[in-house]
Chains A and B, each alone.
Chain A
Amino acid sequence: MNVEKAEKIRMILQKASVGIAGIGGLGSNAAISFARAGIKRFVIVDFDKVEESNLNRQYYFRDQIGLKKVQALKENIERIDESIKVDFFDHRLTPGSMDKPFHDVDVIIEALDNAETKTVFIEEIMKKLPDKPLVACSGVSGYGNSERITTKHLGNLHMVYDEKALSSDDDVLMAPRVTLMANWQANIVLEILLGEDK
């Protein structure tokens, strides 16, 4: 291992913060990777409770069914690193105030499920926080077809994208592809925080 590089990364990430909008399949899995990578401050927003049907892809456990997702994920993050500070907002993101929880984070992850909400969120963040890097995702459903996934860098908007994927209303959501794209988002966040890995 390159000890010098690891130390440099540790120093940067321990001062970094990420905001996560939605902690279902994308957000919960990205959060766990951030915790393991060494990011020490999180802002997470979700209104949902953990349900049995989430366990096929979201980072929760059987004994957390019925808990608020924000509470359950905070616990899971702290099981990895108790020095992480998690601020959570247990409410639905509503148009007009979607930017509010995210003003003081370094990077925002869009990890919402519904296409309409995703679109409104991206529009609102780009308008109100134009200087904030935003990493969004579209097209997670199904399995296989990893090579169709691409990254689109559009100024401060970075999209993990499979334009050929179907809506989750007409397809299935499965752990391999959802976690792949969640970690793809997380990997872009590291690039944003640390600079390109040369």
Chain B
Amino acid sequence: MIEVNGKQLDFVENETVKQLLSRMKYTFPLVVVKINDKVVPRNDFSEIVIPDNSKISVIHMISGG
């Protein structure tokens, strides 16, 4: 199992961050992703594989300030 934004999900072997975002149907263009409290750079989304039992946070960055 993995946990994404507090939600339990099945672990999928060799799933990349990019694939996970699309499985979650997250279509936001700009997100900050943390896996077990480590930030994953966006350039690495299609390479980094999610380990089992990970705790993942996906934060949607919205313009305005």
Instruction: Point out the residues of chain A lying under 8 angstroms from B61, CB to CB.
Output: 115-116, 118-119, 122, 138
Q: Count A-side interface residues using an 8 Å CB cutoff.
A: 38
A-B contact pairs, 28 of them (CB 8 A): A25-B65, A111-B65, A112-B65, A115-B30, A115-B61, A116-B61, A118-B61, A119-B30, A119-B31, A123-B32, A123-B39, A123-B42, A137-B65, A138-B61, A138-B62, A139-B60, A139-B64, A140-B62, A140-B65, A154-B57, A154-B59, A157-B34, A163-B60, A166-B62, A167-B63, A171-B64, A173-B64, A178-B65
A180 interfacial contact with B, CB 8 Å: no
In the bound complex, CA of A122 to CA of B31 (Å)? 10
Q: Do most interface residues of chain A lie in helix, strand or loop, or is the interface mixed? A: mixed
The B-contacting residues of A in range 90-149, CB under 8 angstroms, are: 111-116, 118-119, 122-123, 126-127, 137-141
A89 interfacial contact with B, CB 8 Å: no
Whether A27 and B65, one on each chain, are in contact in the complex, defined by CB atoms closer than 8 angstroms, is yes
Whether A154 and B63, one on each chain, are in contact in the complex, defined by CB atoms closer than 8 angstroms, is no
Look across to chain B and name the residue whose beta carbon is closest to the beta carbon of A140. Answer: B64
Whether A122 and B32, one on each chain, are in contact in the complex, defined by CB atoms closer than 8 angstroms, is yes
Contact flags A144-160 to B (C-beta < 8 A → 1, else 0): 00000000101101010
Q: Given A119-B31, A123-B42, A154-B37, does the pair A168, B57 have CB atoms closer than 8 Å? A: no
Whether A138 and B60, one on each chain, are in contact in the complex, defined by CB atoms closer than 8 angstroms, is yes
Whether A116 and B32, one on each chain, are in contact in the complex, defined by CB atoms closer than 8 angstroms, is no
Task: Give A contacts to B, CB under 8 Å.
Answer: 22, 24-27, 111-116, 118-119, 122-123, 126-127, 137-141, 152, 154-155, 157, 159, 161-163, 165-169, 171, 173, 178
In the bound complex, CA of A22 to CA of B38 (Å)? 24
Whether B41 and A138, one on each chain, are in contact in the complex, defined by CB atoms closer than 8 angstroms, is no
